[in-house]
Amino acid sequence: MILVLTLLTLSSCGKHKSKNSSIIALDVIPKSELIITDALVNQAKYSYMPVPIGFDLIDQAENDVYLFENKTDFLAYHGESGIVDLLIFYKKNLERDGWKISDLSNEYEGLLICDKPKKQVVISIRSLDDKKTKLCLFIKNNFEQALKIGSSVDMINSKPVNDSDFNGFKKG
């Protein structure tokens, strides 16, 4: 019994820290790796959004768009499918999942605006060169969907717009 108490006392003495002790970082993670990690976290967070086979996530440091003030998340991919094939892929898969899709595409860019209650995704598809295509997903969640009689909702900023905001001018 005395032997056990002695061992416990000696082992706990080594755990006390002195006042002058400090913590030393062993590894420093480069900022570029943190950006990739954020993109991967967003990709996992939005796993309900289909991504075509063969499309790879683009490092956000290479993207033209960086910050959206935490209102919108941005994912960008590149791959080798054509614009028309990607439009067909997204229309088929998102309609199956219950998304309402508006197609605003033209001959230069594929553009789909997809709506679901409390979610909105804008899908932009652009040709980079003869083989590569850039696929951008702009994802916004938690819209204020409840519309009250006599007011409307500005869907871009999710900010309520009241009749009094028009200073006597009629909406329409």
pLDDT in tens, 21-64: 666 666 777 766 665 566 677 677 777 888 899 998 886 655 54
How confident is the model at residue 159, as a pLDDT?
A: 46
95 or 151, which is more confident? 95
In a domain, 117, yes or no: yes
Report if pTM > 0.85. Answer: no
How confident is the model at residue 158, as a pLDDT?
A: 47
How confident is the model at residue 63, as a pLDDT?
A: 52
In a domain, 160, yes or no: no
In a domain, 64, yes or no: yes
CB burial of 83-94 (b: ≥16 within 10 Å; e: otherwise) equals beebbebbbeeb
In a domain, 152, yes or no: no
In a domain, 69, yes or no: yes
In a domain, 27, yes or no: no
What single-letter DSSP state applies at residue 155?
T
Total number of domains in the chain: 1
pLDDT (mean) for 66-75: 66
Q: Say which residue the tokens 């993109």 belong to.
A: 39
In a domain, 5, yes or no: no
Q: Say which residue the tokens 């409307």 belong to.
A: 152
CATH number for the domain including 136?
Answer: 3.30.310
Domain residues for 98? 32-141
In a domain, 26, yes or no: no
pLDDT band at 134 (very low <50, low <70, confident <90, very high): very high
